[in-house]
Amino acid sequence: MSAGRSALRMGPAELVQAAAMARRFYLEGKSKIQIAEEFGVSRFKVARVLETALERDLVRIEIRVPAELDAERSDALRARYGLRHAVVVESPAEGEDESPDPENLGEVAADLLGELVTEGDVLGLAWGRSTIHMAAALDRLPPCTVVQLTGVYDAGTAERGSVEAVRRAAQVSGGEAHPIYAPMLLPDPATAAALRSQTGIARAFEYFDKVTVACVSIGSWEPGISTVHDMLSDEERAHYASLGVAAEMSAHLFDTEGRRVGRDLGERCITVEADRLRRIPEVVAIAGGQRKAAAIGAVLRSGLVTSLVTDRSAADYLLTESSPGPRPALDRADPDGI
């Protein structure tokens, strides 16, 4: 608190009293009623004095957040899409980080999970570079069970991917880990069904309906930005592109309006079903960058995601694109109506 020139126009007694009341209210956390009792005045008098202190620059209020967080964009994004939580971080400097999911998104998401997860929760982690970065950055997590929500991009890299992310999160929380040792995409529905019936995978699937907080990634339908796109043949990519796919999340495909397309692909995948995702109370998506911006908007319109960690470049697109619809994330509405 500091006395500005306009505050000096107050009389000395008035100035001292206002400073004392402001100190009690802003620094000591006392209520207006408590201050009124101490000074022998009404609480309305206290309110007027505090208001005058602000108007005359006796009290200056500053709202500070870490430089890497953009509070204004975060709040605007939350309101526009009806999100429960939206956190916008600074985008990497041009040419500094060309990866689709900058590591700083995972670091902020790790801190967010530390806030959202409570003791006894079941945390679900889907495959994705951003979720792997998030798990690596975790340094606090209440005791909880951690379950893998999708198979891995390549079973041969499981130790460096989502399996390791599940293990890491469980280690930090001190809870049980339920990984899935299987590829995300299989050659045909029969092979996928056979794998789902295997004991270890079936045990993980049993936890899907118990998940209370989930962490997912989003990909746009282009090389290097969607693992599912990269796993398919050229003919398959062309087929799904003809259906209007604009985004992918956990092997589910969406058009620009958030409607699911290419549902047959799910029959070949080891992944949590979209209906189960919609029933999870908190689904946090981690995705950023201009190349993913349109895909993020499509997934938000699907109503499957409740919270988002992204960067400024994606946020600017999301805040200026056409109307997102009737707050899809908050309503958990299904754009297909089924």
CATH code for position 136: 3.40.50.1360
Q: For residue 148, what pLDDT is reported? A: 95
Q: For residue 116, what pLDDT is reported? A: 92
Q: Does one domain contain both 152 and 45?
A: no
333 occurs within a structural domain: no
338 by Cβ neighbours in 10 Å (0-12 / 13-18 / 19+) ranks as exposed
Number of domains in the chain: 2
Q: Does one domain contain both 186 and 274?
A: yes
331 occurs within a structural domain: no
Q: Does one domain contain both 297 and 195?
A: yes
Q: Does one domain contain both 239 and 181?
A: yes
Q: Does one domain contain both 20 and 142?
A: no
3 occurs within a structural domain: no
Q: For residue 6, what pLDDT is reported? A: 44
Contacts of 266 (CB under 8 A, 6+ apart): 251, 252, 273, 274
327 occurs within a structural domain: no
Please give the Cα distance from 146 to 165 (Å, whole number). Answer: 10
* β-bridge mates for residue 213, sequence order: 123, 282
336 occurs within a structural domain: no
| Average pLDDT for runs of 10 along the chain of length 338 | 46 78 89 91 91 83 66 90 90 56 81 92 91 90 95 58 88 94 90 91 93 94 79 87 92 92 90 93 93 92 93 92 67 70
Q: For residue 234, what pLDDT is reported? A: 86
309 occurs within a structural domain: yes
Structural domain of 23: 12-56
Q: For residue 45, what pLDDT is reported? A: 92
Please give the Cα distance from 46 to 319 (Å, whole number). Answer: 40
99 occurs within a structural domain: yes
Q: Does one domain contain both 102 and 231?
A: yes
Q: For residue 2, what pLDDT is reported? A: 43
Q: Does one domain contain both 133 and 259?
A: yes
Q: For residue 11, what pLDDT is reported? A: 66
The DSSP code for 89 is: E
Q: Does one domain contain both 179 and 285?
A: yes
pTM to 2 decimal places: 0.77
CATH code at 46? Answer: 1.10.10
Q: Does one domain contain both 85 and 29?
A: no
Q: For residue 217, what pLDDT is reported? A: 92
Q: For residue 211, what pLDDT is reported? A: 97
312 occurs within a structural domain: yes
Q: For residue 236, what pLDDT is reported? A: 87
Q: Does one domain contain both 173 and 233?
A: yes
Q: For residue 7, what pLDDT is reported? A: 43
